[in-house]
């Protein structure tokens, strides 16, 4: 059961935290919306649609710093008003007064982990769905006004006689697809249903009564034909940060199986080449292709491992920030709370975050193991917290 003083501190801490986190999140949300608009070129209607989904993606970045500021405000004011001194004179231990901050920090750590694991992947999927629909609308607007849609980057063009935007239908389309290094494909059809698929990064066309001309592969008339054209949404694939822990584990398992398979291929091919004395084969593109594929998959696997461990470590940073900020604010009683916050946060900004970024880069390169490297920053803060806590309890 919490004492009256602890409940008073807890409610004061929650009130300040709600105010600070709201103001900070609103500011970052507008920056996030501006970034999405500049990247995708979406309209104001789509901006309003993605606004509720951007908020959860910003919270993991705002929660640790806002918690530290809230702790500095509440405990700095208590100490400046000599309420901490009065409590100690009444025989109340300082650690019991810090318990509400530790409890809020632990709860926010769990919330941050939940946000990173479940809410953010759900939010990003909805944002990308809205962006995909916006790009689909842009494509139909271009076809309706110019009867031509071109993507020189991926080497295809679509020419139509007309469009039915309501049914997502292209009337008498002519599609020319000539990717670099491959033979061209030409398709003519009576009608085609067009849709954008974000998950596969493709434009999917379901054609009716189509004539397909692809030299060396297929040529002739077909009643139905499905054509997939590559396209990039925002120029990138979904990041590991936008995946749940379960999805990351599944992808890691698939990557490990693929790495083992390519390693076996590489070993068998090398053994056959050495057995027949064909040493030049070891330098050919075919053999090096196995090595390149395996190296590429190993890089991806290391990034996923780093993200998996980093997600837990960064979530726990909320609790560690509370461990540092509470006793430090008590020791800095004569200063203003903003001064206390900056004196506490600037070393974190200059030491903690650079160390975390350094460990992330080293883990992704395979220099260190992310299982312990991702916790180095928290360990440094824990050592600092132990020192500051000892000073606050003694004095």
Residues 221, 243 contacting (CB under 8 angstroms): no
pLDDT at res. 290 = 64
**pLDDT averaged per 10 residues, the chain (length 395):** 81 90 79 60 67 78 88 88 85 88 93 89 80 78 85 84 85 85 82 80 84 77 83 60 85 87 77 72 60 80 90 92 91 76 86 92 91 93 92 81
Residue 330 and residue 340: Cα distance in Å, rounded? 10
Residue 357: per-residue pLDDT: 92
Name the DSSP letter for residue 238.
P
Give the C-alpha separation, 206 to 227, whole Å.
7
Q: What is the pLDDT of residue 100?
A: 92
Q: What is the DSSP string of 123-151?
A: HHHHHHHHHHHHHHHHHHHHHHHHSEEEE
Write down the pLDDT at residue 382: 93
């Amino acid at each position: 059961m919490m004492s009256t003083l602890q409940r008073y501190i807890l409610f004061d801490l929650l009130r300040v935290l709600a105010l600070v986190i709201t103001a900070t999140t609103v500011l970052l949300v507008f920056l996030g919306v501006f970034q999405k608009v500049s990247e995708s070129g979406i309209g104001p209607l789509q901006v309003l649609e993605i606004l509720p989904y951007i908020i959860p993606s910003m919270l993991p970045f705002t929660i640790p710093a806002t918690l530290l500021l809230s702790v500095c405000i509440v405990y700095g004011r208590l100490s400046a008003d000599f309420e901490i001194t009065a409590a100690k004179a009444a025989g109340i231990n300082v650690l019991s007064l810090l318990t509400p901050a530790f409890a809020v920090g632990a709860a926010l750590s769990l919330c941050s982990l939940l946000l990173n694991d479940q809410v953010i992947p759900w939010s990003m999927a909805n944002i990308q769905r809205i962006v995909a629909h916006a790009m689909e609308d842009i494509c139909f607007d271009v076809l309706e006004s110019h009867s031509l849609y071109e993507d020189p980057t991926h080497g295809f063009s679509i020419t139509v006689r007309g469009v039915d935007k309501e049914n997502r239908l292209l009337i008498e389309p002519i599609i020319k697809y000539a990717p670099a290094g491959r033979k061209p494909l030409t398709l003519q059809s009576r009608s085609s249903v067009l849709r954008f698929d974000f998950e596969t990064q493709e434009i999917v066309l379901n054609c009716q009564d189509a004539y397909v001309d692809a030299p060396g592969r297929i040529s002739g008339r077909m009643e139905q034909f499905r054509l997939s054209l590559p396209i990039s949404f925002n120029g990138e694939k979904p990041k590991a940060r936008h995946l749940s822990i379960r999805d990351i584990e599944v992808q890691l398992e698939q990557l490990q199986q693929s790495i083992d398979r390519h390693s076996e291929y590489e070993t068998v091919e090398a053994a056959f080449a050495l057995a027949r004395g064909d040493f030049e084969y070891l330098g050919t593109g075919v053999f090096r292709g196995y090595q390149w594929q395996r190296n590429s998959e190993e890089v991806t696997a290391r990034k996923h491992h780093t993200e998996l461990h980093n997600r837990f470590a960064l979530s726990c940073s909320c609790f560690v920030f509370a461990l540092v900020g509470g006793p430090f604010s008590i020791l800095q009683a004569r200063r203003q709370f903003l001064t206390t916050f900056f004196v506490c946060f600037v070393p974190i900004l200059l030491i903690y975050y650079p160390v975390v970024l350094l460990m992330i880069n080293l883990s992704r390169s395979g220099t260190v193991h992310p299982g312990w490297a991702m916790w180095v920053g928290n360990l440094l803060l824990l050592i600092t917290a132990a020192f500051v806590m000892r000073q606050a309890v003694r004095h």
